[in-house]
Structure 1
């Protein structure tokens, strides 16, 4: 277990699923965790945390709301800054290309890609002044290989990989590392609604013959946050799906 004592970690979209698993992992490693969600986070979500987390509530797709919330965060007394940012928040609106509404394409790209930028830019500016920091962006195996019915999601997640590589080059001289994680099929609310037949077909293409667990993504986030000589990389956690 890596030690993140006295470090502050902000995870977007951390009220459930992968985001919450990442938040719990950093909390267990000693970090002060800042949870984020678009809607209210109920206290029972973080009842078992070692340290009471701070809560931020705003829509990442709203650039002004993101900037205002983060500006207020940095103005708090005794706030030293964000050491690790994990951009996890995102949405899906799946549909085959021929039937996809333009608004559905635009909304997914706006939330997943533009939203990542909206949160990252204000914090990146502060990290430049701090001369240290780690940013981890959640992409997807779909951003690497594409997927039928997800041209909007795939485009947004491929864009995150490009954002990650470019930002890594900009931040390196100031001690800021930027990496991405590309999860494959992870046990979640989304996969739980799939029929047994659909799950079986997906598993045929996964060499490890199982879906991943959210805590396995969390372990990768801790690894990248604590690995001082890794930047600009995309780590696939997909059971071998993208080989």
Structure 2
């Protein structure tokens, strides 16, 4: 009997690391769904699902739709994220709350929604995308680094809570990556960034996706944060 293809949901699959991860999962044989905020597109072959990670109802409905379309949920990858960079004194309450909502609260709610099918299966793998900046801090990114640091702490605790159901929860922490999020970075800032990277180049979205997929498929890794940052 041919074994059924494993399934995956990538939240934030319309661009950057999320899109590369959806493409990579398809390439290695996963039936894959990916989310967009409406009007966006996901990689060819991916089942598109509209989801707004700022809205709890949209998150739970999107995960339910993915499970209904795919039949089960083996892997959840949460790659959605935004930046609202400025020095803390100039940062508005909205800059703080929106970044926390998209980068931390939304992913936590997505994990909660994925628990029901994964617990029923007694198997599942969750990978959250953080940032290497959590480890050393970045001026102008108090909100961003706080949100990603919260995600790492959350993953460690969730990994302990659901290990007895064989649900693994891990984090991949990319370094500077050549995606459209980098488009607003000045040449001067980019040069300074490259100076601090031992490999002296930006990573690619495909390199981050490779690490995410490897982490998702490891059946004895849980509660870990994997840096993919060119040697930082």
TM-score bracket, normalised by the shorter chain, equals over 0.9
Partner of 1:26: 25
Mapping of residues 111-190 of structure 1, within 5 Å = 111-190=102-181
Q: Give the whole-Å Cα distance in 2 for the aligned partners of 1:91 and 1:234.
A: 20
Query: Is 1:237–2:228 an aligned residue pair?
Result: yes
Q: Give the whole-Å Cα distance in 1 for the aligned partners of 2:14 and 2:154.
A: 25
TM-aligned CA deviation for residue 70 of structure 1: 2.4
Runs (5+) with no aligned partner, structure 1 = none
Q: Considering only aligned residues, what root-mean-square deviation do their CA atoms show, in Å?
A: 1.6
Between the two proteins, the alignment pairs up a number of residues equal to: 230
Partner of 1:209: 200
Q: Give the whole-Å Cα distance in 1 for the aligned partners of 2:131 and 2:72.
A: 28
Q: Deviations over 1:102-156 (max 9, x none)?
A: 1110110011111001211011122111100100000111222211101111110
TM-aligned CA deviation for residue 5 of structure 1: 6.5
Q: Give the whole-Å Cα distance in 2 for the aligned partners of 1:24 and 1:5.
A: 19
Partner of 2:52: 59
TM-aligned CA deviation for residue 75 of structure 1: 4.2
Q: Give the whole-Å Cα distance in 2 for the aligned partners of 1:198 and 1:5.
A: 47
Structure 1 runs (4+) greater than 4 angstroms displaced: none
Runs (5+) with no aligned partner, structure 2 = none
CA shift in 2, pair 1:208/1:200, >3 Å: same
- TM-score with structure 2 setting the length: 0.94
The match for 1:69 among 37, 58, 62 is: 62
Whether contact under 8 Å (2:7, 2:31) holds in the other structure is yes
Q: Deviations over 1:213-237 (max 9, x none)?
A: 1111111011111111111000011
Q: Give the whole-Å Cα distance in 2 for the aligned partners of 1:65 and 1:192.
A: 29
TM-aligned CA deviation for residue 28 of structure 1: 0.3
Whether contact under 8 Å (2:37, 2:50) holds in the other structure is yes
Whether contact under 8 Å (1:60, 1:66) holds in the other structure is yes
Query: Is 1:46–2:43 an aligned residue pair?
Result: yes
